[in-house]
Structure 1
């Protein structure tokens, strides 16, 4: 009795590793980079000069890691998309809109067209299968963009006020005599009254933007249930506020304990360096607490491969 040799299915994910579409991907990405090079240079200038958006340099590399990780976790066999002409039309519309915004000197909106352009190029390269894996990385590119000027002002001023009121409350709670006046905190120290100004640059917006990008990258890369992702994302704002208030409180106590203008400047810098480590510790503590309070079996299920790979392992 003759037996027909079993035909092994193609290695899952071999296509996703770039065998058929790697040349097209490299060419398409190179053209996109060449087209948007002036916009990227403008954004790089903002990242370099604006401390609120210095994390922008890391956004693209982190997005690439997110795509790679999701392709490894959910491999698929690449097939050419059947309706790529629709994406080509959409890409032409996006590029035409970019030219329109450029002529109208609408710099932020022009830069923002980069994100839908990346999404459409992704669809052209791999269709819905690739987009379903790459969409978190595409949305993560939003952190490359600074907030519009109107939104920046609308957010920065309330953050500045919250930082001032919260810091005064905690300083009084810890035993210091302080008097707030607008965004200036007057402290009663052994050296006499000292003024601590909560400047607009110290409103916590920088921490909020950087922490939001960090937390978003973490929830995209670490397997966890959807409810936990939403919880951690929502906690970015209060954690940023707590970290900034802790910084101002630490600065106030250092003003109380140290003498001299140079010591005060160093106190301001030292407390600032501790903001991000403190915020990351708080995020880690939150994840640990959620895992301790709730069963983490859902997270383990989320970490299992989806689709044919998991099926082949169970047969």
Structure 2
């Protein structure tokens, strides 16, 4: 039985299952979308489902012709996802609740269509994990050492350029003003978005698995280096043009410019890695 035939045959149960999922997540998903809108760290969440849909669209021919068969252990995966949702709700742990949606969708795919089709659906399903905001305990664990590293690197460069500067933790003291390297300047914000985009980009340009890993891992130093440039630029402006020059419009513009620079670096690296790579999606 092909995928299209299976959809036709099981459309009633599929619609019923999706309706149950919608009921279960009627409060979870809207709350997650609200965080995408309110928290700049996760604004990329709006793009993730669109990219996952594009991955499905790219494989539409393979999906339509794939031979499928129901695989009953997939129902156990669905039960596992529901249990994860329940545990997250009892513990008020949003990441557990939100990520359980991906588990349930994976389980439904396995149950209705089997393992062969699941392999074709694996990338779109797994990519949905990027839309789930990280727990704050993990976010803070990563953000704090990044802040210190970016601060140290920026201080070292400023001193090499003759700027009189001192550091106290993540605070940079200049003769005319004091700057604090906040979470937004640590690179964590652009790091999360850049990794999600690097994964998508690595499949768009059809890299081999090894080169995809290189490109995705490269997003980490690219994001950190770009944000260090932001702090360095802010330090130069504050030193030679005063604190006001480093605030307001420049501060907001610098955030966009930093991400643009990181994207250019990632695209350049991807172009270099794609030479001689003919692997398809």
Place the TM-score, normalised by the shorter chain, in its bin: 0.7 to 0.9
Aligned residues: 278
Choose from 5, 25, 29 the match for 1:36. Answer: 25
* Matched ranges for 1:1-315 at <5 A: 15=2, 18=4, 20-21=6-7, 23=11, 28-72=17-61, 74-75=62-63, 77-83=65-71, 85-188=72-175, 193-259=176-242, 261=244, 264-291=247-274, 296=276, 299-300=277-278, 302-303=279-280
Q: Which has the larger Rg? A: 1
Query: Gaps spanning 5+ residues in structure 1: where?
Result: 1-13, 306-315
Q: CA deviation at 1:94?
A: 2.3
- Is the Cα contact below 8 Å between 2:185 and 2:230 reproduced in 1? no
Q: CA deviation at 1:291?
A: 4.4
Q: TM-score, normalised by structure 1?
A: 0.79
- CA RMSD in angstroms, aligned pairs only: 2.5
Secondary structure at 1:147's aligned position in 2?
coil
For residues 255 and 153 of structure 2, the distance between their equivalents in structure 1, rounded to whole angstroms, comes to 17
Q: CA deviation at 1:121?
A: 1.5
For residues 241 and 111 of structure 2, the distance between their equivalents in structure 1, rounded to whole angstroms, comes to 61
Q: CA deviation at 1:15?
A: 4.9
For residues 233 and 53 of structure 2, the distance between their equivalents in structure 1, rounded to whole angstroms, comes to 37
Q: 1:291 to 1:175 in 2, by over 3 A?
A: farther
For residues 80 and 33 of structure 2, the distance between their equivalents in structure 1, rounded to whole angstroms, comes to 26
For residues 54 and 202 of structure 1, the distance between their equivalents in structure 2, rounded to whole angstroms, comes to 16
Query: Gaps spanning 5+ residues in structure 2: where?
Result: none
Q: 1:145 to 1:67 in 2, by over 3 A?
A: same
Q: CA deviation at 1:206?
A: 0.6
Render the CA deviation track for 1:107-151: whole Å, top value 9, x for unaligned: 321222111111112223422222111111211111122222221
Q: CA deviation at 1:259?
A: 4.2
Q: TM-score, normalised by structure 2?
A: 0.88
